[in-house]
Structure 1
Amino acid sequence: MLAQSEDLSGAEKVFAFFRNALLDGTLKTGERLLSERELALKLGVSRPLLREALRSLSMLGFLDIQHGRGAFVRHADISVLSDFFTFSLAQQPDILDDVMQARIAIECQAIRLACDRATETDLKGIGSKLTRLMDTLHDPAEGGAADFAFHQAIVDASHSEALSTLYRAIGDLLRRSHIQRREVTVSEPGIIDYLVDAHREVFLSIVDRAPDAADRKLREHFAIGDAFRRRSLISAFSRRPPT
């Protein structure tokens, strides 16, 4: 059995090797790793420890271990990262409000980039998501999911791998947030007209390639949407129970 100090320092050494090799381009997607024996010697770790580290990297989606052929570098599945963020953040109190702040930061930068980088295909995609959103206004679950898809399409139109990866990493929490907000505000007077107008204006600002206007419209959308939610909560808890 490995000593704990060897396990910790050795595992960190293995992870650091792969991280640095990917960053500097020494390892690329699809490449086969050295044999277990050669890699253990190169890193100065025991083969059992290396085997466990490789298994962990495989579970995270960074390696494809093929018995009899070896281990190959693979493009990680973002769903693994999403699961990690969901499990980690879900343990924090009031996490959806905190995630909302992260969402604002990501989307406001993404929409500026989208105004410059969005292709015609991107614009058609965002437009179709807007149509879906308008068709599901009275259904909190379907409407919330459509709302999330609209905003995700904007982030994807930024063509920023970093922003898209971060957004998808918290995607499960964002989707839940959209649905919960719809459940709270669906009966609020004026909410339907607001949702249509706000999302249409955000979309048109991207079509117009106007980053300042797009940023402003998006921030207004976040602020007014939050005001609707707070007003709905106040109204719900202010009602007298039936006698």
Structure 2
Amino acid sequence: MTNSQEKNSAAPQTLVESAVNDLIKYIRENHLKVGDPILSERELSEKLGVSRTVVREAFKVLAAMHIIEVGAGRRARVRKMEGSVIALMMSQAVHTEQMSTQQVWDARRTVEARSVELAAIHRTQQDADKLLQLVNTMRDSEDDPILMTQTDLAFHSTIAKASRNPLYPILVSSLTSAMIEFYPKGWRTLSDKAEHDAMVNRHQKIADAIVKQDREQAVIAMAEHFNATILKIIDNGLT
């Protein structure tokens, strides 16, 4: 029996899984980069010894995993790395009680401690200006939890991008998305202006340390922020 016959005698799902692995191997072995085209369905069908239907299903799997992008009338291409699949997985884990909000926060604390340190080293003037602007927006948005949430997310995203490590924006975004529903609730639990101002001031300290490129103070300020936030989560039963 030939290799092709052996493949086609397997269960359909196994064929698709095999084709997915073969396609990933093909991308790596041919050193394809973001935006580079992949062989057509016909070419891959011949190369892998499977039907075009199997290749098409493998394309769908890889597209769902955001490894490739497919579009009508054009060849599939290697897709840029992003974290929506990881975010969905983590969000589902929280909602199905496989992990808690506190555990996600704990993981974020570790990631952001390093992220803020690198941001203090590598930040540009544009990064610094944006962080200060975001803090000002937070300060002026006491009565708008939705705007506060959006600004808070943008603040941490800006720090992650300023780290100049492309993995940190994905990790921060994914971990944040897992508990996105908490954010407006969290801001609403700040009982008075003093609590709100204290939270904003902690963000201000982080921004100021990054602006000054003081990596040690940036890490300390981020730790203080997470300590206060996690205590607030516990106090309000937002687990």
TM-score past 0.5 threshold: yes
For residues 70 and 189 of structure 1, the distance between their equivalents in structure 2, rounded to whole angstroms, comes to 55
Measure the CA separation in 2 of the matches of 1:116 and 1:25.
35
- Counterparts of 1:155-170 in structure 2, within 5 Å, are 155-170=160-175
C-alpha separation in 2, matches of 1:25 and 1:180: 48
Is 1:97–2:102 an aligned residue pair? yes
Amino acid at match of 1:208: K
Match of 1:180 among 160, 164, 185: 185
Q: What do you get for the CA RMSD once the two structures are aligned?
A: 2.9
Q: TM-score, normalized by length of structure 2?
A: 0.82
Aligned to 1:220: 224
1:13 aligns with 2:12: no
Aligned mates of 1:212, 1:13 — CA distance in 2: 48
Equivalent position amino acid for 1:33 in 2: I
Amino acid at match of 1:224: A
Q: 2:148 corresponds to which residue? A: 143
Which is further off, 27-36 or 69-78? 69-78
Match of 1:132 in 2: 137
- Give 5+ residue unaligned stretches, structure 1: 234-243
Residue in 2 that maps onto 1:29 = 34
State the TM-score, normalizing by the size of structure 1: 0.81
Give the structure, 1 or 2, with the largest relative contact order (CA under 8 Å, sep 6 or more): 2
* C-alpha deviation, 1:76, in angstroms: 5.1
SS of match in other structure, 2:180: helix
What is the alpha-carbon distance in structure 1 between the residues aligned to residue 64 and residue 125 of structure 2? Answer: 37
The answer to whether the Cα contact below 8 Å between 2:83 and 2:171 also exists between their aligned partners in 1 is: no
Whole-angstrom CA distance in 2 between matches of 1:59 and 1:169: 16
**CA shift at 1:23, angstroms?**
4.6
- The answer as to whether partners of 2:93 and 2:99 remain within 8 angstroms in 1 is no
Aligned residues: 232
Counterpart CA distance in 2 for 1:195 and 1:105 is 20
The reply on whether 1:208 has 2:175 as its aligned counterpart is no
Structure 2 unmatched ranges of 5 or more = 1-6
Aligned to 1:237: none
Task: Give, as a single letter, the amino acid of the residue that structure 1 aligns with 2:231.
Answer: A
Structure 1 window deviating more from structure 2 (42-51 vs 147-156): it is 42-51
Residues 112/5 of structure 1: CA separation in 2 closer, same or farther (3 Å cut): farther
CA distance in 1, matches of 2:129, 2:24: 37
Question: 1:155-200 CA deviation, whole Å, 9 max, x = no partner?
Answer: 111111111112222343343232221122x215731231132111
CA distance in 1, matches of 2:183, 2:113: 17
- 2:68 maps to which of 56, 63, 66: 63
